[in-house]
Amino acid sequence: MESEAAQVNRKKEPTRPLPAGPRPTGPRVYGGRLLGPGAVAALTALAVTGCSSGSSSSSSTATTPGASSPSPSARPASGNQLQDAYQKVIADVLPSVVQITTATGLGSGIVYDGKGDIVTNAHVVGTATTFSVTLANSTKALDATLVAGYPESDLAVIRLTSPPSGLRPAVFGDSAKVELGQITLAMGSPLGLSGSVTQGIVSAIGRTVSEPQGGGSPGATIGNMVQTSAAINPGNSGGALVNLNSQVIGINTLAATEPEAGGAAAPGIGFAIPASTVTGIADQLIKDGKVTNSGRAALGITARTYFDQDFRPAGAVVVAVSAGGPAAAAGIQPGDVITKIGDATVDSLNSLTSALASLTPGTRTTVTYTRDGRSGTAEVTLGTLETP
């Protein structure tokens, strides 16, 4: 019910050969915008692009699978603590980051466990059920099949058909400990350059971003995303955003573009799904093959965008109320037009979805609505969004 997503600029590649072999690369671009109460005014003209493959940044560094690391004697004698920390994180985590190739494009993934489960974005998987996976320390492609996906959070799990020995599962960090200014490294396969690493910081937390629907994109509205200045390019989708403790703090998913500049990249604005969302969804997909607890807040209503007399969007009108649900318990009725959730203005179904995505089940919030031309409020304890 609460799922109507605004467009987000997503890049997913058509097929063309890479120099290293017949792997498809290159972007398909979809228009859109950044949404959510966390979005600042300076970003309202930006679009957000999914990272299933695209142009790389000058801050990117590519490594060749199987290449040896420089010997300690090759480093400056004085040493550099920050450089050493970067190189340690790369050595710890990069073996856990893989390249995923489908019939229509490529993206990245993260080794989740020793059984061969790999977590990635649902938009990387698309409609495919079989995949070719290349580990960071190998040039040999491995077969994999789909375990399950959850497009509502843009996440999916695939599994290696014959997992090799020595798989390196990644360590996922605590999302609650992610702070502004923390140094981050983004790892993945931009433009098919497997094992690439970029660096930046955590620029913001708690962003809510909406994605498009169609063209392989699931149309998710995702809350509590981590914003980073590390370059995230097409092909990075599904890869790792990592802290200096060698912990994955998010899955690289979106990068901003500037429509007024012809869709050019807006440097230093990327988004990652937080680790807590990733592990919560992936554990359910692996165990049950589906998601039974979305962890997403819901009112327990069916709604649509309401238009005023001038045909301008002016709220979300309640079409139906679930019996025994949060809205019903608070006295919200069909025909009510919701105009605010807490302090967040609601002028469409999409903005209602975005407002709810920034909250968690069990949160008590004020819902402002109009009924028969009169304004009213209701205190609602939010429930959990039911899964299909």
Active site residues: 123, 154, 237
Q: How many H-runs (helices) and E-runs (strands) does the chain carry?
A: 5, 23
List the structure tokens of 301: 């209503």
Whether the Cβ atoms of residue 170 and residue 154 lie closer than 8 Å to each other: no
Q: If phi over 0 gives left and psi between -120 and 50 gives alpha, with beta otherwise, what is residue 322?
A: beta
Q: Which residue from 309, 337, 345, 285 is spatially nearest to 119, judged by alpha carbons?
A: 285
Q: 205-223 as b/e, with b when 16 or more CB fall inside 10 Å?
A: bebbbbbbbeebbbbbbbb
Ramachandran angles phi, psi of 16, nearest 5°: -160, 150
Q: Which amino acid is at 335?
A: G
Q: Which amino acid is at 153?
A: S
The H or E element spanning position 77 is none
Whether the Cβ atoms of residue 200 and residue 194 lie closer than 8 Å to each other: no
